[in-house]
Chains A and B, each alone.
Chain A
């Protein structure tokens, strides 16, 4: 464990630690372009040069092993000069087209110039001309002139996806990043190169000219695109509807979590969020005419009264088709209110077969919380399948069938769905988006999306992770948990008041469910925490 000194402060680091990492431990940020902890060390940008005692030349902190007694200065006169010099070189041929660059505001050329540059520019020659606005793939736009040739994108496609699309061609100041002519950057993780690019050379096509980044709010969350649960940052606007045709979520970025997704996420997850603002259910609806099954807008009061009354009727036979898209907190309330108290049988349709997957991040189960449902005992061993519940509804053996999220047409086919909707059974639908089942329901209760509420998911590896509330519930939609508690009140279910907040539900859940024992909503933090293996889980994994 060598001890070294950085800017006069001592730090002990494990053998093999580099100076840039050691500085990070002290909270000292050494500016960098090519260095990235998830990629091999390139050492080409020269931005992280530091002053090392007894070294005749400045050293790059990213490739300098920390040694015993080493004395490093990151803020000495020499180190400042070195960084300013490198910046001037990097900006010599840079087009300085910040006013039309999407990276402006989060660009490390801008940021470092303000922090470490501030020199008087001397470059007065003709700049090297390269290509701009090249669509290199479905998601990524390349501007060769803005590129500082740090090679992060090349190393990403070499080392992480091993697809090798990017290269740096030619040499000297004619060197340019690009793809082999005719090739496309379309690997399943392509957009990560945009996050890696420290400048405006690689930008997202979907975000192009949509908004200046300083208008964006950011919320830490977890991707719901599959059971991996990659940690994310959601970038959104709520008060500038003109920026993105009214869509509030502008982009999703991966958030570092060494135990889940490192620095990366797949394109499917990153761009699978259109549904949040498209074809959403924003109003309570009820069926007004049995013959035509016409629906009209209604109110939450009426809906909750209506559904509550049906559920409270003596001996009501209730079936619930739950969804692995729901948070643990929603599922727990569902289990307590509808299952434990009202005796509902709760089905959970399995993940459809054939979901794409790989040996990196992408999982075949495209729901984010199946493991959480399993830990909560949903479905339990005695629960019939979703199809059996629909059959029971058709046969008049159910009084209420409450469907969360699923389109029954996909689960049991159009004929059975229709049959279930025309029978005596009250069909209640809660969910976020419009589909065939919605128009057949007696009651439509619009649900908030996962990104519109706080809660937790459990990923495929059993890691409990918090979903952050980035947006207000769409239209008149409500969090599932919230209206389930209203149902509880109307049906005499003993629900606890503190279940209105995610921390309260989680606390009860931690008491009631072994897998969550000892955890709290707070302790999960922004990096998640591993659930205890439960018997239910072990059984589920065996089966």
Chain B
């Protein structure tokens, strides 16, 4: 294998970064795209190009789910089996695809055409159950939709460049606004001309020509903009933590590593309104004094990354990025950096570790990123959706944004409704919308007229709420007060037939798979929990397992570098606390008895 033809591109890539090592993931992507996998020779080439030990390259290769350490099929068909897809039949779909292709997950067809892979959430839950063929999302598709299944398997067996037989997804994506979704109507996206025709970049021009950074921060604070990645920290206050007059460069990093199961929001901003994100980044970078920004986008998001890059190229061409933005003298460069399949990289310090070319392992705090983040420099990490709200605030004033929301949280959110609702989709709503309104009015209620059993309000990490607990506003504080969290606004709805043991198995598998493995309680606890839940699911549970699960999850909580272990613990605790009877009945009978009526029959 030779790499001579990649050298020039490698030089360009390395040139984008302050330190060569940060080019680790992009160089590995480069090799994999060229050769189909990352061979030992390729690892050696990457190590030599970056000046690192080859063991560092192997660490990265083995950490990220999307890097291939061995040759695979010419195409890869990924079937999502995370909770939202599972609730709508992904297990049956996977079996059908297995039968059709004649291979199991992890295997490649004998002719080398396609590798079948079972994956965790691809954050396209509005189209669940869904699959990804190479770079393309396809869904929804269920096992009984024989036509689509046949089209998918036909596509999977065909050569990579063949025209697709399977249909382009057409999920419900709200475009009613008022803040984030107004330009979501065109699935092909709004580009520079369309964006500026609607007043795009006016807010940025105003900021760059007439405001001081601290005035921008004041407006964002006044708007009550909260961190919409899931933590809800006030965005303006976060910006204010960057030390003034620091001699180090300051970085803005946009977290586009959308990965929380049940979530689908940032992708639509990047695919359909990418300039809103770029304009927000210009304003944020000006406010914190950054002249270099990175967008860390999850590796599975091929099309969003391509569209973002197209928008960035447009912005450079139009003078809205570069050394002298719009003639104002302000400089900003933006680099899109692709992840490679690791949920933990959504945690902001893990994201920085990954961006620096390492495994995505969270960093110790203190120091916090605002003081010492990317490359040891002050860094602000904000979610895509958060940044995309910023142009609205600066254009229409913080009062208007604040007024849309609740007392302590301004604006709207992009809620993803998935699971057992009539109409899954992405809906922009004021943050004060109630969970009941979301499910019953936006989502059309529980599918098939069934009764609601439970709902996870903010991505799989959030504690489950029962049917009696849905009359709550969806802002961070209200959902927190109700004992759960608004998180990523991924609302997963479960009807009365949902088996909670199976649901917990989905969550437990996810966390065991995605734990970065750094802290002992999380590394060992997630695997331990998953093995117990799997054993219960196989009919070999003991009643004492439930208390063990509770104490193990409790022992993980609050004892690790990041909050992943909490996220892993809360589903365990809340499912068992709220559905203990069902868990006990499952253990006693060794089978799934999800509904009260089924359990009564079993007891009789």
Task: List residues of chain A with CB under 8 Å of any chain B CB.
Answer: 41-47, 49, 56-58, 63, 65, 82, 85-86, 88-90, 92-93, 122-123, 125-126, 128, 148-149, 158, 163-175, 179-181, 183
Contact assessment for B515 and A171 in the assembled complex, using a CB-CB cutoff below 8 Å? yes
A90, A165, A167, A171: the one within 8 Å of B520 (CB): A90
Residue in chain B with minimal CB distance to A40: B364
Asked if B54 lies at the interface with its beta carbon under 8 angstroms from chain A, I say yes
B53 touches A168 (CB 8 A): no
> Does A148 lie within 8 Å of B520, measured CB to CB?
yes
Q: How far is the CA of A43 from the CA of B513 in the complex (A)?
A: 22
The yes or no answer to B120 lying at the interface (CB within 8 A) is no
Cα(A173)–Cα(B520), bound, Å:
9
| Chain B nearest CB, measured from A162 CB (Å) | 9
Question: B515 — nearest CB in chain A belongs to which residue?
Answer: A172
Question: B342 contacts the other chain (Cβ, under 8 Å)?
Answer: yes
Taking CB atoms, residues of chain B closer than 8 Å to A179 are: 55
**Chain A residues with Cβ under 8 A from B66's Cβ?**
none
Q: CB-nearest residue of chain A relative to B527?
A: A173
Are the CB atoms of A88 and B55 closer together than 8 Å? no
Question: Which bracket fits the contact residues of B?
Answer: 35 or more
CB pair A172–B513 under 8 Å, yes or no, is: yes
For the complex of A and B, the 7 pairs showing the least CB-CB separation, nearest first, are A164-B53, A175-B517, A173-B527, A167-B55, A85-B555, A89-B524, A125-B531
Q: Is B266 close to A, CB under 8 A?
A: no
Determine the chain B residues whose CB is within 8 A of the CB of A92 once the complex forms. 524, 527-528
Mark contacts of B39-77 with chain A using CB atoms, 8 A cut-off: 1 yes-contact digit, 0 otherwise.
Answer: 010010000000011111011001100000000000000
Cα separation A165 to B342 with both chains bound (whole Å): 24
The residue from A58, A125, A168 contacting B517, defined by CB atoms under 8 A apart:
A168
Q: What secondary structure prevails in chain A residues at the interface with B?
A: loop
A126–B531 CB distance below 8 A: yes
Q: Mark B509-530, 1 if CB is under 8 A from A, else 0.
A: 0001111111111011111100
Determine whether the beta carbon of B517 is less than 8 Å from that of A173.
yes
> Of A45, A47, A49, A166, which one neighbours B55 at CB under 8 angstroms?
A166
Chain B residues with CB below 8 A from A167, complex form = 53, 55-56, 58-59
In the assembly, what is the distance between CA of A82 and CA of B520, in Å?
12
Assuming A89-B555, A166-B55, what are 15 further A-B pairs, CB within 8 angstroms? A43-B561, A44-B519, A44-B561, A46-B560, A63-B366, A89-B523, A90-B524, A92-B524, A92-B528, A165-B55, A167-B56, A169-B62, A171-B63, A175-B517, A180-B54
A46 touches B517 (CB 8 A): no
What is the number of contacts between chain A and chain B, taking CB atoms within 8 Å? Answer: 124
A180 to nearest B CB, angstroms? 5
Q: Is B532 an interface residue (CB 8 A)?
A: yes
| Nearest residue, chain B, Cβ from A150 | B520
Asked if B561 and A180 make an inter-chain contact with CB atoms under 8 angstroms apart, the answer reads: no
Residue of B nearest to A82 (CB): B559
A168 CB contacts on chain B under 8 angstroms: 59, 359, 517
Residues of A within 8 A of B56 (CB): 164, 167
Residues of chain B within 8 A (CB-CB) of A164 are 52-56
Q: Are A174 and B517 in contact (CB under 8 A)?
A: yes
The verdict on A173 contacting B55 (CB below 8 Å), with A85-B555, A93-B527, A123-B528 known, is no
Name the one of B59, B62, B525 contacting A89, with C-beta atoms under 8 angstroms.
Answer: B525
Who on chain A is nearest to B555 by CB?
A85
CA distance A250 to B561 in the complex (A): 40
Complex Cα spacing A171 to B560, Å:
15
Judge whether B514 and A172 touch: CB under 8 Å: yes
- B516 contact set on A, CB distance < 8 A: 171-172
- Closest Cβ–Cβ distance, residue A125 to chain B (whole Å): 4
Q: Is the CB of B58 within 8 A of A169?
A: yes
Chain B positions within 8 Å of A181 at CB level: 40
Contact B55 A175 (CB under 8 A): no
**19 A/B residue pairs, CB under 8 Å, sorted by A:** A46-B559, A63-B366, A85-B521, A89-B521, A89-B523, A89-B524, A89-B525, A89-B528, A92-B524, A93-B527, A122-B552, A167-B55, A168-B59, A169-B63, A172-B517, A172-B526, A173-B515, A173-B524, A181-B40
User: Does B558 touch A at the CB level, under 8 Å?
Assistant: yes
Interfacial chain B residues near A170, Cβ < 8 Å: 62-63, 517
B531 touches A58 (CB 8 A): no
Q: Which of A45, A56, A149, A163 contacts B558 (CB 8 A)?
A: A56
Chain B residues closer than 8 Å to A175, beta-carbon distance: 517, 523
**In whole angstroms, how far apart are the Cα atoms of A46 and B565 in the complex?**
13
